[in-house]
Amino acid sequence: MNSSNIWNPQNLQYCFDFVGGSCPRAIRSLASFSAMYMTMLGATLFTMGGNLVVIISIAHFKQLHSPTNFLILSLATTDFLLGLLVMPYSMVRSIYSCWYFGEWFCKLHTCCDIMLCTTSIFHLCFISVDRYYAVCEPLHYVTKITIPVIEVFLLISWVIPCIFAFGMVLSELNTNGIQDYVDSISCIGFCSLIFNKLWGVLASLIAFFIPGTVMVGIYVHIFTVAKKQARKIDKVPTVSLSVCATKKVSVKKERKAAKTLSVVMGVFILCWLPFFIITIMDPFLNFSTPEDLYNAFVWLGYFNSTFNPIIYGLFYPWFRKAFKIIFTGKIFSPDSSSLNLFTKT
């Protein structure tokens, strides 16, 4: 095929040539196409690769078999599945404004998209609960955060988003009262989730604002407690060099923990807040949000799953050591699963 003809706008008008009622296809310059393709493909590959390394690390190394890390393992599995099952198809739809994979798969993809994104957010919320007990009630942490408790967290994180996503999409509750509008914009090659006013608000509350508010509230409390602990440690009289060194290490750890929590909150809010604000506002604005802007916010939300392995993996020294062992091939050596990951590298 002659490449000079590929970018001729006359050849890019419809999703399906010679098919009546086909959706119009996005016309983009080569520079725009290349930038979108490289950004989305890079995010997809990094989401799968980064989360896969986290999954292998926790599953393989025995020292990482803890209640907290089982939560992170499940989060990484969720984000990996998002990168594998959702993001590649969303990439094609976002770039071309066309859906080439059939009506049935459109509904399945939409269900998986909502379910996995919501599941990821629920995991982040429960990880904040885990961190609350670890920092604010360390003496009760072992008795409060047990394997059965983690199992309940995981059950809630998977079952509720699954029921919510598949129930809403398959019942078409989100289009009640706006069916005429949906019919007016539907065409062959169309696959987009449209919310009425009620479900735009309800879906945003369930998937983001309720778990997000809990998460941010907990992290703000943890941040406050960490600062108080650091000040108390700093005020302890120094009677020896060893005590002084211990104080410095404790204060450093508290400040690092507070910094990590700030990054967690900042990334989470930055990635997801714009999408859910536009989800609520769009029905009240007569669905006037430009398609490219909506897709940009969708992908900004996806990026949270791209950043999660960095935040919850690379911020911890033992994970960095596990990554190093995997990438250097030492994971294939005998008894590598029993290696000590908590010594200084």
Greater confidence (222 vs 95) lies with 95
∠ Cα 12 13 17 (to 5°)? 85
Summarised one tens digit per residue, pLDDT across range 152-210 is: 999 999 999 999 999 999 999 999 999 999 999 999 999 999 999 999 999 999 999 99
| 135 close to 257: Cβ distance less than 8 angstroms | yes
Give, rounded to a whole angstrom, the gap between the first and last alpha carbons of the chain: 54
- pLDDT reading at 236 higher than 90: no
Q: What is the pTM assigned to this prediction?
A: 0.89
Categorize the per-residue pLDDT at 18 as very low, low, confident or very high, splitting at 50, 70 and 90.
Answer: confident
Predicted pLDDT of residue 257: 62
Predicted pLDDT of residue 96: 94
Predicted pLDDT of residue 244: 54
Predicted pLDDT of residue 260: 73
User: What count of other Cβ atoms lies within 10 Å of the Cβ of residue 141?
Assistant: 18
Summarised one tens digit per residue, pLDDT across range 61-84 is: 999 999 989 999 999 999 999 999
Name the amino acid, one letter, at 118: T
Q: What percent of the chain has pLDDT over 90?
A: 64
| 46 close to 306: Cβ distance less than 8 angstroms | yes
Average pLDDT for 323-333: 89
Summarised one tens digit per residue, pLDDT across range 264-311 is: 888 999 999 999 999 999 999 999 999 999 999 999 999 999 998 888
Residue 172, φ and ψ in degrees, nearest 5: 60, 30
Question: Quick one: which of 107, 228, 213 has its CA closest to 169?
Answer: 107
Residue-wise DSSP of 66-108: SHHHHHHHHHHHHHHHIIIIIHHHHHHHHHHS---S-HHHHHH
- pLDDT reading at 54 higher than 60: yes
What are the residue boundaries of the structural domains of the chain, listed by start? 3-331
Lowest-confidence region among 21-30, 165-174, 247-256: 247-256
Predicted pLDDT of residue 224: 84
| 320 close to 314: Cβ distance less than 8 angstroms | yes
CATH of 3-331, one of 1.20.120.430, 2.60.40.10, 1.20.1070.10, 1.10.10.10: 1.20.1070.10
| CA 262/CA 220 separation, integer angstroms | 9
Average pLDDT for 137-164: 94
Predicted pLDDT of residue 323: 86
Predicted pLDDT of residue 246: 54
- pLDDT reading at 12 higher than 90: no
Predicted pLDDT of residue 240: 55
Location of structure tokens 């950004």? 39
- pLDDT reading at 5 higher than 60: no
| CA 264/CA 248 separation, integer angstroms | 24
Average pLDDT for 131-149: 90
- pLDDT reading at 233 higher than 70: no
